[in-house]
Amino acid sequence: MEEESIEYVIVINGKPEGPYRISELKGLGIQAGTFVKKPGMDDYKEAHELTELRELFGFTQQVTAPQYFASFDQRLLAAAIDYFFLTCAYVILVLLGFLIVTDKSQRIMLALSGLPLIPIAKFIYGSLSEASEKQGTIGKRLLNIKVTDLDGRRLSLSNSFGRNAAKIFSVVTLFIGYLYSFLNRKQQCLHDLISNTLVIKDRLI
């Protein structure tokens, strides 16, 4: 999409206005903190967060600490959605395997022996997705939540893998590590504290 053809909706006096093309934004008195939304964005962002608007207005990108955090039930539902899709993919693979394996006992062994692949796939998929531009798995994206560092920035791949590996500590503590999210303001689980990460939700206007 050409930059000039992109249309922006901006919030003025608490009300969304537009859409405007980028060439029309100059005379609208946009400030660094003006909320702006363009096609492809799930939520409004401040003008300084968009590269093309920083270049147009000469804004300096500011770091705004996250203030809205995903609740335990949102995170649990997101994980359930991810496991549902991964399990469906596993079932399809097993059924394809049944086309080759005809013996009943071998089919049972095939189905059971591959079950450990599901959490392994979740670990790899979760780590790659949370370090991606979307900053979350399908489950998180459906619930409009994402994983960030303590400043709200995208995770590096190593930090994302470290965060998902640290989940073992949340599990071996009899899941108390997950329930710890009820005890702190930022709703961090134990693995979030270990990896210095947050799970945030969209800002509401």
Residue 64: the pLDDT is 65
Question: What's the rounded Cα separation, in Å, for the pair 170 and 95?
Answer: 33
Q: Is the pTM of this model over 0.95?
A: no
Residue 75 DSSP code: H
DSSP-based three-state secondary structure for 127? helix
- What is the mean pLDDT, run by run of 10 residues, along the chain of 205 residues? 74 87 82 88 84 84 76 95 97 94 92 94 97 95 94 93 95 89 92 95 66
Residue 141's alpha-carbon distances to 51, 119, 136, in angstroms, are 23, 19, 6
Position 54 scores a pLDDT of 86
pLDDT value, residue 141: 95
pLDDT of amino acid 205: 47
pLDDT at 147: 96
- Sort strands 197-201 and 145-149 into parallel, antiparallel or unpaired: antiparallel
Q: Which residues pair with 102 in a beta bridge?
A: none
